[in-house]
Structure 1
Amino acid sequence: MTSSTRRRFVQHSLAASAAMLAGLALHAPAWAANDNDTPIRIIVGYAPGGAADNLARLYAEQLRQDGHGTVLVENKPGASARLALDYVKRSKPDGKTIFVGPSPLFTIFPLTYKKLGYDADKDLVPAALLTDVPTVIAAGPQQPYKTLGEYVAWAKKNPQQASIGLATIGSAGHLGAVALGNDINVKITPAAYRGASPMLVDVISGNVSMGWDAVASMMQLYKGGKLRFLGVSGTKRAKALPEVPTAKEQGFGQFEYATSWYGAFVPGGTPPEVMARVEKMFIAASNNAATAAKLEGLGLEVVGKTGKEAQQRMLTERAAWKPIVEASGFVAED
């Protein structure tokens, strides 16, 4: 083979290889090429500094450390996080725009809002279940009851004084109190506040007979002896409160589903392989010991389960709340 023939052979081989590689690139998933060049955006429906924002930023940092490129957190507060949800549902289903938000948007809101503005089953779908948010029923330390059972006995004797302080009407705590009141034949009057702080002032002073909110928002007051915890939500005791029984183990299952949770959601129509990728990276982040410890420091309990498990939990909780919402007659206008 002459030198010129050899040169033509090498050039032909290189050209064929380039053509083959170009053909493979055309058939690769759209997100596979330069995947880390496009930032991941985690959309939060609340202002900076709150629990949802802090959770999102911890996950964003862990995703960056895990090699997923640039991960940004964008806050789009308003309409109880529905503005952020609407933004994500209209985003490209490529796994790059992810809504991180609380479960009531998908479990309670579809039952209570007259005009929801989204399909809770189709517009967004869960890619991963991230953390639980344990909640607790609390009372002032001067009250004559120390457990939920003692509260019920007291409420039956003092029905006009039975009340519950709430940061959000239509919340799981509100609905749980409605169910409890129906079961013991006592109307527990909801008292709405603009946030947990003013509500807790009235709980401590005894202006309302009990209050309900996340464990995290009341922990310091509880440890300081300014609040008494009557029972936690869910089916198991909170890791941070092993000494406080659940309402259910005291015989009151009305707050079983009052433990909300945070999930990572992607737009409907996201391809299965992209869903799997998002699910895998969020579960891996949840399983990081340092990140889990930081999340638990916020009063959250790390779960780190699949999107399928999140979907099943969502449907189960919605079905459990439906008859309670219907019995209450509560409708959220906005």
Structure 2
Amino acid sequence: MTVRRAAVSPAPNSSQACLTAMTQASRRKFSLSLLAMSAMAIATAVPAGSALAADNAEPMHIIVGYAPGGAADSLARLYAEQLRQDGHGTVIVENRPGASARLALDYVKRSRPDGKTVFIGPSPLFTIFPLTYKKLSYDADKDLVPAAVLTDVPTVVAAGVQQPYKNMKEYMDWARRNPDKASLGLATIGSAGHLGTVALGKSAGVAITPAAYRGASPMLVDVISGNVSIGWDAVASMMPLYKGGKLQFLGVSGTRRAKALPEVPTMKEQGFSQYDYATSWYGVFVPAGTQPDVLARVEKMFLAASANPSTAAKLEALGLEVVARPGQEARHRIQVERAAWRPIVEATGFVAED
């Protein structure tokens, strides 16, 4: 009987087995090294683009404290469009009117400090309101952080074209002769124009009676008709009526003439310093707690948008003057202007009620 033996491969010697194991381990290690190097290459090659895409994935919301159609709303929409053109993704303007823009400020104060919700608001919220309100729902120095100054907002005292006075000096002479007719139309009680005019009246011994309106439009109707002797508001809101021959401008705020109104003298030129700081400004603010790098990014975005010639021209056509200064300057202006308004507020004795 023939017995068949199963074929058996010869067992490798110990040195061969060791070599094989080492070779396999080396291959695995080499493959893992290649994967790691590839991952590192991808991570270092794409961060800027991917970070930008991630940053732009969530829309930015610009919060405005006034209804659509006004100067603040127009300004915000011009900046939103320029930011979109500059590649910063979707930018949404959100109107939250009420309480002289304090409702909008409070909303931003409570928002996440991630640079995606910003407030474009007027300087009196930070310079005058802390002096005139017994209690505010926000801390003007702590709850929001300025990112940039965008534009100055020259203001002006206006009168109907039929009035006999053609500048502020003539008006004060008229008011002394007609004290019972001296009245000031205002869209906002406690504003720079209100306080400046009250202080002016006190220094001249003339009581100029403030008349409060629910917005600039109805106030200007009464100024044009002569129901109030003068009115005060931003140049931007009055410019169409001025160009249309319905209003005359008696004097502009600040210490230099407005670019859009080189023919109109300042109050200071006429001897009235009470309006030196009545040129307010619009700034960009973010919630407290925003990280420095995020704050710097927001500042850079808005300063770059301000530098666009087309946007600057559109803003100046509205009667706004582009200044485009960093957040540090905004903080400085707030402190300087608040200090300047303090003695005026104290002299008038005005206290805001709402």
User: Counterparts of 1:131 and 1:250 in 2: how far apart (Å)?
Assistant: 25
1:162-173 alignment, distance < 5 Å: 162-173=182-193
Greater Rg by CA: 2
Is 1:65 matched up with 2:65? no
User: Counterparts of 1:73 and 1:220 in 2: how far apart (Å)?
Assistant: 24
Q: TM-score normalised to the size of structure 2? A: 0.86
- Give the counterpart of 1:251 among 249, 271, 278: 271
Residue number in structure 2 paired with 1:78: 98
Percent identity between the two aligned chains: 76
Q: Which runs of 5+ in 2 are unaligned?
A: 1-18
The one-letter code of the counterpart of 1:309 is: E
Is 1:295 matched up with 2:315? yes
| Aligned residues of 1:179 and 1:324 also touching (Cα < 8 A) | yes
Is 1:265 matched up with 2:285? yes
| Aligned residues of 1:135 and 1:258 also touching (Cα < 8 A) | yes
1:172-321 alignment, distance < 5 Å: 172-321=192-341
User: Counterparts of 2:170 and 2:134 in 1: how far apart (Å)?
Assistant: 37
User: Counterparts of 1:93 and 1:33 in 2: how far apart (Å)?
Assistant: 19
Deviation, 1:157, is: 2.6
User: Counterparts of 2:137 and 2:81 in 1: how far apart (Å)?
Assistant: 32
Residue number in structure 1 paired with 2:71: 51
Deviation, 1:267, is: 0.8
Residue number in structure 1 paired with 2:14: none
Residue number in structure 2 paired with 1:12: 32
User: Counterparts of 1:84 and 1:143 in 2: how far apart (Å)?
Assistant: 38
- Give the counterpart of 2:351 among 313, 316, 331: 331
1:284-321 per-position Cα deviation (integer Å, ceiling 9, x unaligned) = 00010111111122221111111011111111111111
Residue number in structure 2 paired with 1:140: 160
User: Counterparts of 1:182 and 1:83 in 2: how far apart (Å)?
Assistant: 33
Deviation, 1:173, is: 0.8
User: Counterparts of 1:81 and 1:18 in 2: how far apart (Å)?
Assistant: 53
1:244-296 per-position Cα deviation (integer Å, ceiling 9, x unaligned) = 01111111111111111111000112122211111111000001011111112
| Aligned residues of 1:233 and 1:246 also touching (Cα < 8 A) | yes
CA distance change for structure 1 residues 286 and 333 in 2, over 3 Å: closer, same or farther? same
CA distance change for structure 1 residues 21 and 80 in 2, over 3 Å: closer, same or farther? farther
Q: Which runs of 5+ in 1 are unaligned?
A: none
User: Counterparts of 1:314 and 1:181 in 2: how far apart (Å)?
Assistant: 26
CA distance change for structure 1 residues 33 and 217 in 2, over 3 Å: closer, same or farther? closer
User: Counterparts of 1:69 and 1:6 in 2: how far apart (Å)?
Assistant: 48
User: 1:52 aligns to what SS in structure 2?
Assistant: helix
User: 1:41 aligns to what SS in structure 2?
Assistant: strand
User: 1:299 aligns to what SS in structure 2?
Assistant: coil
| Aligned residues of 2:71 and 2:236 also touching (Cα < 8 A) | no
| Aligned residues of 1:115 and 1:333 also touching (Cα < 8 A) | no
- Farther off after superposition, 8-17 or 293-302: 8-17
- Farther off after superposition, 201-210 or 289-298: 201-210
Deviation, 1:7, is: 4.6
- Give the counterpart of 1:130 among 147, 150, 156: 150
User: Counterparts of 1:166 and 1:330 in 2: how far apart (Å)?
Assistant: 15
User: Counterparts of 2:215 and 2:57 in 1: how far apart (Å)?
Assistant: 40
- Give the counterpart of 1:97 among 97, 103, 117: 117
CA distance change for structure 1 residues 228 and 47 in 2, over 3 Å: closer, same or farther? closer
Residue number in structure 2 paired with 1:114: 134
| Aligned residues of 2:67 and 2:96 also touching (Cα < 8 A) | yes
How many residues align? The count is 329
- Farther off after superposition, 137-146 or 12-21: 12-21
Deviation, 1:197, is: 2.1
User: 1:34 aligns to what SS in structure 2?
Assistant: helix
User: Counterparts of 1:61 and 1:255 in 2: how far apart (Å)?
Assistant: 33
User: Counterparts of 1:68 and 1:10 in 2: how far apart (Å)?
Assistant: 42
The one-letter code of the counterpart of 1:12 is: L
CA RMSD of aligned residues (A): 2.5
